[in-house]
Structure 1
Amino acid sequence: MAEPEASVTSIDQVRRLNDVIREVKNAAADRDDVVVEIREASRVRLELLAQELKPVFDAVPAENDWFDFAISSGLQPRLWIDAITHVTLGRDRRTYRFLADTRLGRSVLAESPEIKPVADQVTRYIAERMVERQRLVEGTVEPVARIAARARWGSIYRPRHGWRAFLHGLLLVIAGALVGLAFAAAYFWDRLADLG
């Protein structure tokens, strides 16, 4: 008689396990729904910013291919301005963050829970890039690093021409050869004594 009771309890345990598995699956589905809802809410907030910036986006000439005004999808939606700058939402999903990826890392250009300050900073960034490009096309811009280096180190980097540079090089080669021979003679001194 003990055998039927054992099978009944195992069936009850299986049913209880099935109920728990069902509850866990429901909880996981609810969490997934929350993640999807957060992602959708982030995308909607970025679309609101894009609508605010639409007149600015429309004012950029069509032949200007520096800018890419698009909202990317993924785990963290982003409103891309160009190849290195984008707007995303902060951890609280309410703060707009205008970021630039540089060689030295990511820098925050603007951060605010309000649309207006971030939209103003994005507009200013677009205007600065357009002016910079126009100056580059016209050829009136020289990188700041070259100008500063030329002013600071101009007298040090004078190129040497002619026989004087050749003779300096030849003297360096001869001095290096003499130092090398001296080291070789000191290293092999014991072996030279055995030969002689």
Structure 2
Amino acid sequence: MNDASGRQGSPSNVRHLADAIRKVRLAEAERADVVAELRDTERARLEMLADELRGVFAEVPEDDDQFIAQIDSGSQPRFWIDMTSFVAMARDRRSYRFVKDTRLGRTVILETADLDAMADCVMHYVAERIIERDRALEGDWLLRRAAQQDAPPRRERRSLSRPAVEETSARAPSTAHGGWIAAAFLAGILVGVVALLAYAWVHVGG
């Protein structure tokens, strides 16, 4: 009995909720520190890649605004190249993963731990996008040029319409003048016929 009562009253068997809460908070803090440290490590690696590509993006034409070239501050840092592609760290926290979103889904362009290899891959991607944009602009220009060549110029239409108007205006007075002459000729004939009938009536009837 004495042994049992002694074990029940020993401090080692006492459970306190406050101690459990303190232990849980310490564990969460340690995990948060680990996550923050990993996030800082990923961001540092991405900043190294951004530094390697700083000169590449500086040579992009000023009128080409399709590139972002910025690192976001989310839970998983990403180095955005444009609206559909970015570089993030792989699960091993050491390899770079170049990802692009397409109509068929997300595609991994390259995954490597070599900083130089990833920088070269991104540089070639930027060059391809610039060429695609130039081709699209050139195609639009050719379509507009072809449409302008198919349609007659405005100045030629005006030059063609003015002589037609002048010719119509010139024909109108001549036509009217000829009508008056014909009417006068017919009136003269009618007057002559009436005069002959009147003369014959006076002399023959008399």
TM range (shorter): 0.5 to 0.7
1:55 equivalent to 2:37? Answer no
How many equivalent residue pairs?
136
The alpha carbon displacement at 1:20 in A equals 2.3
Distance (Å, rounded) in 2 between the aligned partners of 1:101 and 1:52: 23
1:163 alignment partner in structure 2: none
CA distance in structure 2 between the aligned counterparts of 1:47 and 1:78, rounded to whole angstroms? 10
Q: Which structure is larger by alpha-carbon Rg, 1 or 2?
A: 2
* TM-score, normalised relative to structure 2: 0.60
Q: Equivalents in 1 of 2:106, 2:38: separation in Å?
A: 24
Q: Does 1:106 align with 2:113?
A: no
Q: 2:45 matched to which residue of 1?
A: 45
Distance of 1:94 and 1:19 partners within structure 2:
38
Post-superposition offset of 1:22: 0.8
How far is 1:16 from its partner?
A: 3.1
Q: CA RMSD, aligned part only?
A: 2.5
Identity %: 49
For 1:16, give the aligned amino acid: H
Residue identity matched to 1:40: D
Aligned partner of residue 21 in structure 1, secondary structure: helix
Give the distance between the partners of 2:78 and 2:113, measured in 1 at CA.
16
Corresponding position of 1:74: 74
The residue type paired with residue 83 of structure 1 is M
Deviations 1:126-158 (A, max 9, x none): 00110111111111899xxxxxxxxxxxxxxxx
TM-score by length of 1: 0.63
Structure 1 alignment gaps of length 5 or more: 143-196
- CA deviation profile, 1:146-194 (whole Å, cap 9, x unmatched): xxxxxxxxxxxxxxxxxxxxxxxxxxxxxxxxxxxxxxxxxxxxxxxxx
Please list the CA deviations of residues 3-58 of structure 1 after superposition, one character each: whole Å capped at 9, or x if unmatched: xx9xxx7x998873322221111111111111111111111110000001111011
Correspondence for 1:180: none
The aligned amino acid for 2:39 is R
Cα distance per residue 1:110-136 (max 9 Å; x no partner): 110011111101000000110111111
User: Matched residue of 1:123: which SS?
Assistant: helix
One-letter amino acid of the counterpart of residue 99, structure 1: V
> Residue 99 of structure 1 contacts residue 109 of structure 1 at CA under 8 Å; is this kept in 2?
yes
